[in-house]
Chains A and B, each alone.
Chain A
Amino acid sequence: MRKLFNRLARPGVAVIAILAVVLFASQALAQEGNVYRQFLGLDSRRLVWFLAQMHLYFGAFVLGVPMFALVIEIVGWRSKDEKYDKLAYEFTSLLSVAYATTAALGGLMAFALVTLYPTFWGFMAGVFKDIMFMYALMFFFETFFLYLYYYGWKAMKGGREFGRPLQLILKTLGVAAIVFTVAFAFGTFDPEGGMRTDTRVFFIVLYFIPITACLFMVKNLKTTHIAIGILLNVAGTLIMQLANSMAGYMMSPVGVNEALEITGTTWQAFENILATPIAIHRMLGNLAFGGLVAGSYAAVKFIGAKTIEDKAHYDWMGYVANVVAVAALIPLPFAGYYLGREIYSTSAVMGNNMMGGDFSWTFIIQAMLVGSLFLISNYYLWSGMTRIPGAERYYKFIKFILFALILSFAIWLTPHNLPLSSLEVGEMGGSQYHPMLKFLGLMPAKNAVVNLIILATFFSFLLYRRGNKLVPVSIREQGKTAKMVIIGSGVVAILLVGQYALTMMTMNPADLDLPADRAYYMRIMGYLLIFECVMAVVTVVLALNDRGKLGQGLYMGVTAFNVAIFLGVWGFVVMEKASPVLRNVAVAQFLQLISCLVLVTAIDLFLWKGAKEVGTLKWGKMTSRSQYALLLLTIVITMNMGLMGFIRSGLRGDWHIFGIMRDTSDWGATPTNFVMTQQVGGAVLLFLVACAFMFWLGSLLTKANNEESSSADNGRSAE
């Protein structure tokens, strides 16, 4: 017990101690003026950057893996399949080492900021002092829930239901939580000056709904354990959001004047314009990252496995991890688009610098990495089809999907122009732009192909799911649940698309500084979205009348045409005639795509539920290449996280706090892409080696547990 207490208290106490030193030291140092220092003659910027990068990688690991573990535990609990439970436990065992390392790296980073950038950090500590204490407090909560979650796993396996009085109390609290959430949604508890809608939704979806669900779901020890897992994730997410608020503030400061006098409230600093968009992006990124790290663990184990059973286990583990990761990966480009839009709204200078300035080439590297993520994920799914009897029926589609992916990838990578020699310019008729390729470098083309890549990946997933299924199951003959879920998904799809159709049909061009005749470009999109709504209705009707496959094909086809072809081309027209409407084109594409994913998935769930199978999946019958693909996915996402961090913080240019505090140090200039790849590559190498070390430690623990349980079994047998 004392050991457990020590484990619980240690990281929290360490964080408090670091925080106290940081706050007091920074306030004292801040008096000295605009000061920069060096440690061992190193480039301070690169040193802080490296430490921050490592801290973020480990932070993403300890936030992403519990998310992943919780999802797997819930799947195991609902499906009553013990192997999911074991899988979730195995991953949770990796966390304790990573958790202490994250705290240690966080401390190192804070010390580096205090000592090397005292003026800057002194100011930040003044603005965020309340947030910093809250941050430390949340560490205690997270530590408490993490260790309770891990060490309580076996003790909270099942047991009898709790007594009615306790359940009644919990449900009453649950009702109170619902009332609170509704009141919060309507702004009853808004701070002075109000709250951004995205922040409100973030709080409701990621904090209040999960906590309310905990109160309703707790009925026995197992559900209590799941509730602890939810609270662990709530605490982790809040820690991330608190830290993000500082990163966001550096890009979009509020409540401060140019004389660096703090005039705003703590809430305003916390809820600066970019804080929530960054938090949404990181949240999804962490989930994808958690899934892929778990996948690479499975891949390493698979490659080294000696027995068929082990191969089967780790193959299955890798598959589950990849599904979770891809599910989080799909909405990520849209979260990125939202963040980019908010950055542009905050400052056109930052926005232009992002994709048209210093970082345009960095975005080309980013496109390579993100494109690779999707391409490799698809490859892994196709490889997985070799273990599915009957999947060979769908092999013929792979070449088309591959063609669509490569074509889309190539378009995504095409820059608007390239530095050319005068000879090359002459060969292109004196223009810096290629007569055809110049169009592929523009945003409408890129938006179209991103949507197509996602749709193609989704199609691969659908093929994988039905690989060994023979004939679809009649939805008409299934219970009310199937019908209600399909109709409900249809309603969600129609609401998503329909509300935007209404916006497009009623939008006043003057709102975008456009003359009245440009309304035409909005109305056309409105009609297109109405058509998409009609197709959603047709799809639902077809599905309910046992024509689900046709419905799925029709809806996916229409969506693919609308988002990739029609709006892809329309984007160019809009760009020429009414360029401010271009952002509405992107939103229209995104909404149609999401509605398609929602409705088609809902139909697919029931279409193949309990369908006759050609044969059972042959887990373990996978090539080593597929496992290297899983590993590569983890490497690529880790590199991409570092690259995106470089872009996000680099957008400030030579400002510590954008427009408020200039970076006058010797390291104020934006580094080159080569410096970025050196920094990020080094951090990736070190982080993944550290991960391998953690996996090894985890395997020692698993081995010890297995030996312990087998000796206990032997002891019982001897008795």
Chain B
Amino acid sequence: MKSSIWKIFGFLVLTVVLYNWIGYAITDLSGGKKDMSGAVEISPEGGETLYWGKGRCYTCHSLGGQGSAVRGPNHGQFGEKFPMPMGSRATERAIERTEKTGTPFTAVDYIVESMAEPGAYVVNGYKNEMAVVYAPPISLNLNEIKAIVAYLMVQGGDLDMEAIDTAPSEISTKLYSKIQAAQAAGGGDPGAGETVFEDNCEECHSLEGEMIVGPDLSTIGDKGIKFISESILNPAKSITPGFETYEVETKDGTKIVGLKTRDEGGEVDITKKNGDVVTVVQSDIKTISVDANASVMPEDLNEAMTVKDFQDLQAYMIMQKAEKKDGE
């Protein structure tokens, strides 16, 4: 029995050694640990570090023969499908766009747009599924995005650092603002936030200056991210004047809680949380009072959303500014 135990132990050790050898050989082939940290400068070299590191671009894109990902378009010159590398490809697409729209559009605008609004132009044969690179978990900041733009531009294109960093075009400036706004809102994706808004908020709130049940939110972005966050997580804490919660007790003992949406002709309309409108004749009211600690907005709204939904919604809300509306 003793000798068989040693044989078995030897067999076990041999297998573990083989396993480690495989790990060693594969690490030797595939490279070292994936470090996601470290600040970089706005330059093609900085962009390269980010492209193959923190930015995780390599998980979906390859660059010519470098990398193996095929989920997204190859950023280098590769086969018949990609006869030009990214920099010159962007220049060509920018010319096409300028001719089509009549508005000047640059190669830098094209690459910035592909990161700020990846759905704006989807390469034929690929799905609109690019991750929001300025949102968690990737969370690239604006300078890091500019560095990657520089890196992609030098792939066959002319590098214009002014257009990327110090003097961007009007289009790039707008896109940079969007990225910054989204980052201020915790890095959410405003596009996805619009869907969250439609699913959860649109029934009661308008973005067009109208009053439905709750206040109009067309300029809520001007109030700042803290106010937006608080309004979603703790709606009773920051009630907009005119949207206080009323508690009405009728003479027969019935209690109705909601927004007072009409008070005329001897009648009061109370809009309840579920949207039902109850009309009460003034003479039937025993007491009517404002409950300062209550809001008709669903208190469990944050529970119905994932963290991502919440961040996306915040990002969408922060973009609802008077300045934006004027510009439209």
Contact = CB atoms under 8 A, between A and B. Distances in A.
Contacts of B23: 365, 672-678, 681
B3 to A, nearest CB: 9
A684 to B, nearest CB: 6
Contacts of B138: 349
B79 interface: yes
B307 A659 contact: yes
Contacts of A192: 300, 303
A257 B310 contact: yes
Interface in A675-705: 675-678, 680-682, 684-685, 688-689, 692
B16 A353 contact: no
Interface stretch (B128-136, B144-152, B250-258): B128-136
Given A257-B233, A303-B8, A654 B37 contact: yes
Interface string B195-235: 00000000000000000000000000000000001000100
Contact of A669 (B17, B19, B35): B35
Nearest to A441: B68
A628 B11 contact: yes
A219 B17 CA distance: 53
B27 interface: yes
A655 interface: yes
A673 B34 contact: no
Interface string B260-271: 000000000000
Contact of A357 (B15, B20, B56, B65): B56
A425 B129 CA distance: 30
B191 to A, nearest CB: 14
B49 to A, nearest CB: 14
Contacts of B129: 348
Q: Range of interface residues on chain A? A: 35 or more
Contacts of A352: 56, 59-60, 69, 71, 131
B123 interface: no
Interface in A412-464: 415-420, 425, 431-432
B24 A674 contact: yes
B59 A357 contact: yes
Interface in B10-53: 11-13, 15-17, 19-20, 22-24, 26-27, 29-37
A264 B22 CA distance: 44
B68 A417 contact: yes
B58 interface: yes
A303 to B, nearest CB: 5
Contacts of A365: 22-23, 26
Contact of A268 (B11, B60, B303): B303
Contacts of A357: 56, 58-59, 69
B60 A631 contact: no
Please indicate which of the listed interface residues A263, A304, A676 has the most CB atoms of chain B within 10 Å of its own CB: A263
A670 B60 CA distance: 18
A682 to B, nearest CB: 8
B104 interface: no
Nearest to A580: B127
A681 B19 contact: yes
Interface string B51-73: 00000101110100110111100
A251 to B, nearest CB: 10
A683 B68 CA distance: 32
B93 interface: no
Contacts of A256: 307
B26 A635 contact: no
Contact of B137 (A261, A350, A513, A580): A350
A350 B137 CA distance: 9
Nearest to B310: A257
A304 B5 CA distance: 8
A584 B203 CA distance: 34
A322 to B, nearest CB: 17
B302 interface: yes
B303 A669 contact: no
Nearest to A422: B65
Contacts of B12: 631, 635, 685, 688-689
A635 B9 CA distance: 11
Contacts of A264: 302-303
Contacts of B35: 669
B306 interface: yes
Contact of B307 (A257, A432, A513, A685): A257
A404 interface: no
A353 B56 contact: yes
A336 to B, nearest CB: 20
A36 to B, nearest CB: 14
A639 B37 CA distance: 30
Contact of A193 (B70, B186, B300): B300
A352 B68 CA distance: 12
Given A360-B68, A513-B128, A674-B20, A660 B56 contact: no
A635 B32 contact: no
Given A257-B229, A349-B56, A678 B20 contact: yes
B4 interface: yes
A672 B16 contact: no
Contacts of A639: 15-16, 19
A350 B127 CA distance: 17
A193 B303 contact: yes
Given A253-B307, A432-B65, A659 B137 contact: yes
B244 to A, nearest CB: 24
B308 interface: yes
Contact of A685 (B13, B30, B58, B311): B13
Contacts of A360: 68
A263 B303 contact: yes
Contacts of A348: 129, 131
Contacts of A636: 15
B317 to A, nearest CB: 14
A425 B65 contact: yes
Contact of B59 (A304, A353, A579): A353
Contacts of B36: 653-654, 668-670
Contacts of A193: 300, 303-304
A418 B60 CA distance: 16
A290 to B, nearest CB: 19
A306 B288 CA distance: 93
11 contacts: A300-B4, A303-B7, A352-B60, A357-B59, A635-B16, A654-B36, A659-B308, A669-B36, A674-B23, A677-B24, A681-B16
Interface of B: 1, 4-5, 7-9, 11-13, 15-17, 19-20, 22-24, 26-27, 29-37, 56, 58-60, 62, 65-66, 68-71, 79, 127-129, 131, 136-138, 186-187, 229, 233, 300, 302-304, 306-308, 310-311
Given A674-B23, A684-B16, 15 more contacts: A264-B303, A304-B5, A352-B131, A358-B59, A361-B30, A368-B22, A425-B65, A432-B66, A636-B15, A658-B136, A658-B137, A669-B35, A672-B33, A674-B26, A685-B16
CB-CB nearest 3 A-B residue pairs: A677-B23, A659-B136, A357-B59
